[in-house]
């Protein structure tokens, strides 16, 4: 059985051995950071260094290959300058979904605010709407829906932050706070994540109605 608390020190040791003082930040994202993981969930690790070359990435890849559970490892890697220039809408989710393990994100990027959250809502809703239309018209794939609903959940977190100034990390916290179509979208996301069957066209219709409403009226 995978033990995250035993694995993370191995990862941190490998990264610090490889990059030394160039390491500015190590973090954890995703379902394992939220305590919502399954046995096969990815290990979404974040690594930020002072500088990062293509050669560094190859050496980092080799270091990851030497770690146990390599098949689960994924995540974000960047140098400090690149991350600091990232789009503010994406940095909102990045900042609030990341659990720090080494260093501080606040030393690299400003703490995202309500304006950044609003951009995240707008970008998220537009992306969901476009992808949902494409899938309904062309791809016609039920397998696409879980990813679209996952994106919608991130948008719901940003939306709640805009309304309240509070970021709710877990789905359980968010479920208690939502009503109407917001709550229906989150409930459908949970059902799809659990691989429960459903009418994919009805699920698409809900997502289209919800995202369209956000784009037009938020």
Task: Give the pLDDT confidence of 94-145 residue by residue, as tens digits.
Answer: 999 999 999 999 999 999 999 999 999 999 999 999 999 999 999 999 999 9
Residue 171 pLDDT > 90: yes
Distance separating the N- and C-terminal Cα atoms of the chain: 45
Residue 14 pLDDT > 90: yes
Q: How many H helices and E strands in the chain?
A: 10, 4
Could you give the 3-state DSSP secondary structure of residue 41?
Answer: coil
pLDDT band for position 1 (cuts 50, 70, 90): confident
Instruction: Say what the pTM is.
Output: 0.94
Return mean pLDDT, the chain: 96
Per-residue confidence (pLDDT) for residue 185, from 0 to 100 = 98
Length of the chain equals 218
**Helix residue spans in 66-105 (DSSP H):** 80-84, 88-96
Residue 189 pLDDT > 80: yes
Which residues, in sequence order, are CB contacts of 211 under 8 Å at separation 6+?
Answer: 125, 126, 128, 129, 132, 152, 155
Mean pLDDT, range 36-41, rounded to an integer: 92
Per-residue confidence (pLDDT) for residue 197, from 0 to 100 = 65
Mean pLDDT, range 168-193, rounded to an integer: 96
Residue 198 pLDDT > 90: no
Per-residue confidence (pLDDT) for residue 194, from 0 to 100 = 83
């Amino acid at each position: 059985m995978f033990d995250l608390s035993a694995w993370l020190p191995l990862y941190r040791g490998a990264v610090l051995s490889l990059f030394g003082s160039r390491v500015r930040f190590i973090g954890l994202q995703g379902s394992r950071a939220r305590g919502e993981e399954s046995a096969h969930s990815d290990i979404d690790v974040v690594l930020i260094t002072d500088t990062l070359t293509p050669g560094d990435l190859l050496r980092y890849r080799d270091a990851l290959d030497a770690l146990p559970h390599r098949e689960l490892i994924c995540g974000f890697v960047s140098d400090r300058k690149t991350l600091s220039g990232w789009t503010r809408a994406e940095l909102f989710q990045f900042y609030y979904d990341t659990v720090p393990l080494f260093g501080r994100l606040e030393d690299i990027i400003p703490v995202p605010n309500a304006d950044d959250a609003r951009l995240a809502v707008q970008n998220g809703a537009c992306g969901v709407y476009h992808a949902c239309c494409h899938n309904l018209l062309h791809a016609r794939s039920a397998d696409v829906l879980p990813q679209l609903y996952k994106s919608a959940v991130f948008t719901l977190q940003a939306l709640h932050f805009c309304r309240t100034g509070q970021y709710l990390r877990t789905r359980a916290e968010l479920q208690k706070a939502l009503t109407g179509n917001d709550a229906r979208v989150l409930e459908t996301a949970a059902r799809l994540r659990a691989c429960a069957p459903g009418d994919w066209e009805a699920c698409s219709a809900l997502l289209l109605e919800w995202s369209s409403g956000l784009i037009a009226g938020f």
